[in-house]
Amino acid sequence: MKLKREGKPRIEWTSNSDVIAAYDPIADVIIINKRLRKNKKILKRCLEHEMLHWKAKDSFLKHLYIDLTDNFKHLFDCEFHSEVRKLVYQNKDVMLVKMFLLNYLIVLVLSPFMILAKLWFYSYRLVELIRGGADGKA
C-alpha cells in the first residue's frame, strides 16, 4: 500500500515496553520507547526511515517493530498490537532457548570435573578416617 509522505511529525516518548516505535497518523505523532534515547545512532536511523513519515489510510496506529536480535536492522510494519506482542514474545522465546542451551553446555562441560572433585574429596576424607581409626583417634 503506497502512503503519501508529509512533513515531519511530532515525537513523544513512552515507557510502555510493548511499543518500540509507533506512528499515529491522526495526531501526526511518532511514539518511541524511552530505551532508544540512549542509542542516538539507532534513533536517528528510526527517524530517517521512510515508514515513519507515511500517512496511514486504513488504521489508527501503524506499529513499527524493530527486531532487537539483529541490531535493529529489520523493521516490521504491524497493523495490530497483538502482532507486535507476538514478535516480542517470539524473540524472548529465542533468547530463552539460547540461554537454556548455553546453561546446558556449561553443565555438560563442568559436571565431569565436579564429579571428580567430589570423588577426590570423599576418598581423601575416607583415607583420613581410616588412618585416624587405625591410630585410635576415631
pLDDT in tens, 1-53: 334 445 556 667 777 666 666 666 666 676 777 766 665 565 656 555 544 44
Is residue 12 assigned to a domain?
Answer: yes
Q: In this predicted structure, what is the pLDDT of residue 108?
A: 75
How many domains does the structure of the chain reveal?
2
pTM of the model as a whole: 0.28
56 with 107, same domain: the answer is no
Contacts of 125 (CB under 8 A, 6+ apart): none
Q: In what order do the strands lie in the sheet with 75-78?
A: 10-14, 29-33, 21-24, 62-66, 75-78
Q: In this predicted structure, what is the pLDDT of residue 83?
A: 46
Kind and range of the H or E element at 32?
strand 29-33
Using CA atoms, how far apart are residues 63 and 20, in angstroms rounded to an integer?
8
- State which residues form the domain around 28: 1-79
Cα 115 to the chain's mean position, in Å?
35
What are the pLDDT digits (tens) for 53-107? 443 333 333 444 433 333 333 333 333 344 444 555 555 556 666 666 777 777 7
Q: In this predicted structure, what is the pLDDT of residue 131?
A: 80
35 with 69, same domain: the answer is yes
How large is the average pLDDT for residues 96-125?
A: 76
Contacts of 58 (CB under 8 A, 6+ apart): 1
Q: In this predicted structure, what is the pLDDT of residue 125?
A: 79
2 with 67, same domain: the answer is yes
54 with 118, same domain: the answer is no
